[in-house]
Structure 1
Amino acid sequence: MSLKRDDLSRTDFSSLVTGDAVPPTPPGDVLLHEFMVPNALSAGALAVALRVPVTRIEGILWRERAISPETALRLARYFCTSAEFWVRLEANHALRVAQACCGSAIDRDVQPITA
């Protein structure tokens, strides 16, 4: 996600200064701010363009639904990106959320295999 120069004075960088982990950006936020807003697209307009139900797009934007491989293919075709971009965005977000939620417990509970 990019920042505009004018927004720098209003941006909170405290988590970078304190060393606290920056929360993972949900794929729906990337879709909204990097693709929909610059192209003046509503959820309804994008749904029509992708030929999917509007509830699918709204679910992604509202963080209630993951980007499926099929939706990734449709987004890639429409926005001239790759499907891998959308799939990786979703997978990386899910992994970071799982790491934040369960990583320490897994490190305690699961011992690596020894040769």
Structure 2
Amino acid sequence: MNKRNFDPIHPGEILLEEFLKPMEISQEQLAEDTSIPLPKISGIVQGKQDINAEIALRLGHFFCMEAQFWMNLQVRYDLILKSGRRKINFSLKSGRWFQLFRQGGLFIAVL
């Protein structure tokens, strides 16, 4: 099976393309009905701001769905972005640093 690398989709794009456009809801109307500031809605739709728990609760209530849906989208997006890095630095409780290098599907720790 061929694997293709796609850019991760920000939750704001899903909000816009799968909810606002098909339901013909403007960002202004969503902001007014959810009490989410319009600049925050705009930032989310543009992929410049993340969906936090408060926003997820408000979106979930507005669209009659679980807030967890929105949180899952955000966490998945964040994880995809982070896992795409070739090198990740970690600090152990002892204060020693090590790095994880990704080779294929494996991570290799180097002290």
TM-score by length of 2: 0.77
TM-score by length of 1: 0.74
Larger helix percent: 1
Pairs aligned (count): 94
SS in 2 for 1:84: helix
Report whether the alignment pairs 1:105 with 2:98: no
Q: Which amino acid counterpart does residue 61 of structure 2 have in structure 1?
A: R
Gaps of 5+ in 1: 1-15
1:1-115 aligned within 5 A: 19-100=3-84, 102=85, 104-106=86-88, 107-108=100-101, 111=109
RMSD: 2.0
Q: 1:94: how far off?
A: 0.7
User: Which structure ranks higher in relative contact order (CA pairs < 8 Å, sequence separation ≥ 6)?
Assistant: 1
Identity of aligned residues (%): 31
* Alpha-carbon distance in structure 2 between the residues aligned to 1:105 and 1:68: 27
Q: 1:22: how far off?
A: 1.5
Q: Which amino acid counterpart does residue 80 of structure 1 have in structure 2?
A: C
Larger strand percent: 2
* Alpha-carbon distance in structure 2 between the residues aligned to 1:39 and 1:108: 44
